[in-house]
């Protein structure tokens, strides 16, 4: 009986130690393109920058924030939140931010070429989040997704 109990305990330890470990990390990938004028071709935006900011659940105060300099002001906060986790677009306009801890974020995308900035909420859950955004020269400066 002792031998069966011993084998059962060893088997249980073995099975739990061999289980897949939850890394709690994902990837955020954004493909950023631009359209310089209405009717023109859509092309990659290699000048684009992306930033992840933890989502506090509060709305961004656009009047107080300066997305061009990397500072966000959330309504009700008494301090400025600086951008974190930068991503830089490659020649195809793809920016990747790897090893992102699970959670809710705000992704901020800035197109240097198009002089435009936008942001969107997203959630990372052990996988990749893939987004696409086209900046259009003839749209407003703070575009939505």
127 falls in which pLDDT band (50, 70, 90)?
confident
* Residue at 57 is within a domain: yes
Q: What range does the domain containing 108 cover?
A: 23-143
* Residue at 117 is within a domain: yes
Q: What is the CATH number of the domain that holds 28?
A: 2.60.40.10
* Residue at 129 is within a domain: yes
* Residue at 16 is within a domain: no
Angle in degrees, CA 43, 98, 17, rounded to 5: 150
Q: Are 130 and 29 in contact (CB under 8 A)?
A: yes
* Residue at 60 is within a domain: yes
For residue 140, pLDDT beyond 70: no
* Residue at 99 is within a domain: yes
For residue 92, pLDDT beyond 80: yes
For the stretch 3-41, pLDDT in tens is: 544 434 344 444 444 434 445 688 899 999 999 888 889
Q: What is the pTM of this model?
A: 0.71
* Residue at 116 is within a domain: yes
Tally of domains within the chain:
1
- Higher pLDDT: 81 or 24? It is 81
* Residue at 81 is within a domain: yes
């Amino acid at each position: 009986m002792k031998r069966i109990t011993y084998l059962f305990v060893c088997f249980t330890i073995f099975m739990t130690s061999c289980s897949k470990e939850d890394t709690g990390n994902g990837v955020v990938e954004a493909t950023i393109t631009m359209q310089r004028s209405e009717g023109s071709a859509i092309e990659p935006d290699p000048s684009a920058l992306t930033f992840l900011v933890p989502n506090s659940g509060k709305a961004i105060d656009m009047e107080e924030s300066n997305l061009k300099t990397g500072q966000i002001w959330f309504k009700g906060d008494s301090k400025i939140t600086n951008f974190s986790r930068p991503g830089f677009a490659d020649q195809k306009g793809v920016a990747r931010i790897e090893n992102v801890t699970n959670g809710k974020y705000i992704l901020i995308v800035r197109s240097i070429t198009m002089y435009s900035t936008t942001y969107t909420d997203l959630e990372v859950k052990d996988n990749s989040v893939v987004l696409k955004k086209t900046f259009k020269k003839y749209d407003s400066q703070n575009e939505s997704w």
